[in-house]
Amino acid sequence: MNNPLLQKEGLPAFESIEASHIEPAIDQILLENREAVKSLLSTTKDYNWDNLLQKFEDMDDHLNKAWSPASHLHSVADNDQLREAYNACLPKLSDYSTEMGQNENLFHAYETIANSDDYESLSAAQKKIIKNALRDFRLSGIDLDDEKKERYKIIQQELSRLQTKFEENLLDATHAWEKHITDADELSGLPESALALAAQTAKSKDKEGWFFTLDFPSYMPVMQYADNAELRKEFYQAYVTRASDQAPKENSDWDNSKVMLEILKLRTEKAKLLGFDSYAHYSLATKMAESPEEVLEFLNDLAKRTKEYAKNEFEELKQFAKEVTGDTADVTELDAWDVAYYAEKLRQKKFDISQEVLRPYFPVNQVIEGLFAITHKLYDVSIKQRQGVQTWHKDVMFFDILEPNGDIRGSFYLDLYAREHKRGGAWMDECVVRKKSSASIQNPVAYLTCNFTPPIGDKAALLTHDEVTTLFHEFGHGLHHMMTRVEYSGVSGINGVPWDAVELPSQFMENWCWEKEALDLFAHHVDSGEALDDDLFEKMTRARTFQAGMQMVRQLEFSLFDFRLHLEFAANETLDIQNLLNEVRQQVAVVKAPEFNRFQHSFSHIFAGGYAAGYYSYKWAEVLSADAFSKFEEKGIFDKTTGNEFLQTILEQGGSREPMDLFVEFRGRKPSIEPLLRHSGITA
């Protein structure tokens, strides 16, 4: 069988890949890799980079080139056959990873190279790969006895299965809920863009009226604009009970309650098996933060600085809601499903602006061109679309990043719109990693995936400013992957970067969405072509810090819940997840969550993604990104020298050096929290 997943060169042949290709390809590569490892370790004694470690880089790369497109399709074009093939491969990949991590001959080979005379002649990137590998051998249980090694292997298999199960339950629960409305009066208050999307969705299902789902572009406008409070509550309840014990009985197969507990038990067991006090301690072994105390102190300090702001903002919102409704009674609470609605009305009253007012200024093609123009100004590269590349959906585009001499520096797929069978959220992932081969340098390729409001009919999609910011964020991750100069895949791009530093380039890019000089490059009205005027920009800027305190405590709630959950579960495996979340909310939240709220059941960042005991990374890296951008504020947002310094010290270095050293090299000092507080409108 000619299996497209076995090709070593070029881009994935997405139009030829079928679910039936996945398992045979993975089986074949794992078999070849195992045989190659056995041969290398039995025939070579005088180990060095070229005769051992470079060959491992090549083997890992071949496996990645098969698994990356298969895994990506599972996220963006899911179906039963793909899901079955994907899940069949998980235990095989887990076993292979554990075998490599516990291979004592391989471990000793790395130690031999680290202690050899040749070690000093290696590059910083090569040394960092060896240092990381020796650490990761320990984290894979290299020091365990045979019985414990076997237990570690079983734990890894189960975690892989359960984390995938969590994500699939959430996807199925999200797409199982739908709302068909035929009475226009029920939709009073909704903007034209939301109505047009709902009508287009209804038409695609051969229905009259309007059709809504829990995909974010469909769900959020209802929460922000629908005058019907009962409708808002219905949508809110459906959204916050997805994949939980509070969902309708017919959806009980997708309840994540037991899955979460099993994940926590296995993570804790793994951590203790390896000698850590908790999974939080284990998680920090590969991060910038040095101890759980440091993380909790950081989060609690931010909460102390912010809580009073958030309380005042919420009091203002409650008072406003009281005035709007003409309620003479004391408004002691505002229901959770009313917060976004009244917040949007208060924003419009205070600043005379909304996402809908701004939407006509952000036609998707203009935004993309503006993003590319900003990247050119900062880093002197150009970006061009390439036709004829195979993709997984007709809306997906492909682009090359070009050096001034026309050479390709990196490439990426851009998949912007929400649709069925695609998981929610926005992310960047690796398709191909930059690395050196015997013949040449392999250029990096990224997947950039979002879930924006799709085009209505034959008109261009109009993005909200929030969606523009999300695109810039994911592109920042993409630049970290694609602009690297490191030639070894283990620390190329985002590889080897501590998780609490990985959000720096992404959050950093968001800043240009708030600068007039940058917006002038692309924010032009879809009909008149007029640029965003000074008056509208000033309103938008003034509204930037609207309810920033409330947003901050919401993120701190997620971060503290995640970290404390993984820290405290180790001492108490009967810990009640809901009670802990309630306790954290009591400490930091200002909006009271209703009894039925089961946010944790859809918290895929920590139960299915890479953020377990690491969600604090968003705030940690936001301190770095705000402070990094403050240098551009001092020198000019398109200052070539500063752009070049950021490129050379952060983006090009990948994981080849410690992120704090790189930050100090760029900024001239350690990071300060003050720029983040200033950007958030929170001052001492």
- Tens of pLDDT, residue by residue over 644-681, are 999 999 999 999 999 999 999 999 999 999 999 998 98
* CA–CA separation, 302 and 209 (whole Å): 47
Which residues partner with 417 through β-bridges?
452
Mean pLDDT computed over every residue of the chain: 96
| Per-residue pLDDT reduced to its tens digit, 443-458 | 999 999 999 999 999 9
Residue 52 predicted with pLDDT over 60: yes
Residue 615 makes CB contacts below 8 A (sequence gap 6+) with: 558, 559, 562, 563, 605, 606
Residue 331 predicted with pLDDT over 90: no
Q: How many other CB atoms are found less than 10 A from the CB of residue 405?
A: 5
What is the set of domains in the chain, with CATH numbers? 4-101+103-139 (1.20.1050.40), 174-254 (no CATH), 360-544+618-679 (1.10.1370.40)
Residue 22 predicted with pLDDT over 70: yes
pLDDT of res. 440: 86
282, 566 contact by CB (below 8 A): no
* CA–CA separation, 189 and 231 (whole Å): 12
pLDDT of res. 329: 57
Give the SS3 label for residue 405: coil
Is 297 one of the catalytic residues?
A: no
Q: What secondary structure letter does DSSP report for 345?
A: H
* CA–CA separation, 613 and 616 (whole Å): 8
Which residue is catalytic, options 57, 344, 356, 474?
474
268, 570 contact by CB (below 8 A): yes
| Per-residue pLDDT reduced to its tens digit, 276-290 | 999 999 999 999 999
Q: CA 293, 299, 303: angle at the middle one, nearest 5?
A: 135
| Per-residue pLDDT reduced to its tens digit, 126-179 | 999 999 999 999 999 999 999 999 999 999 999 999 999 999 999 999 999 999
Count of H-run helices and E-run strands, the chain: 26, 9
| Per-residue pLDDT reduced to its tens digit, 467-486 | 999 999 999 999 999 999 99
The string of DSSP codes covering 106-128 is: HHHHHHHHHTSGGGGGS-HHHHH
Give the SS3 label for residue 448: strand
Q: How many other CB atoms are found less than 10 A from the CB of residue 248?
A: 11
Dihedral sign of CA atoms 542, 543, 546, 548 in order: negative
Give the SS3 label for residue 452: strand
Residue 236 predicted with pLDDT over 80: yes
Q: Which of 434, 471, 468 is nearest to 652 (CA)?
A: 434
Which residues partner with 217 through β-bridges?
none
Q: Which of 431, 491, 432, 429 is nearest to 135 (CA)?
A: 491
* CA–CA separation, 325 and 274 (whole Å): 58
Q: What does R_g of the chain's alpha carbons equal in angstroms?
A: 25
- Tokens representing 156 are 């890894």
Which residues partner with 210 through β-bridges?
181
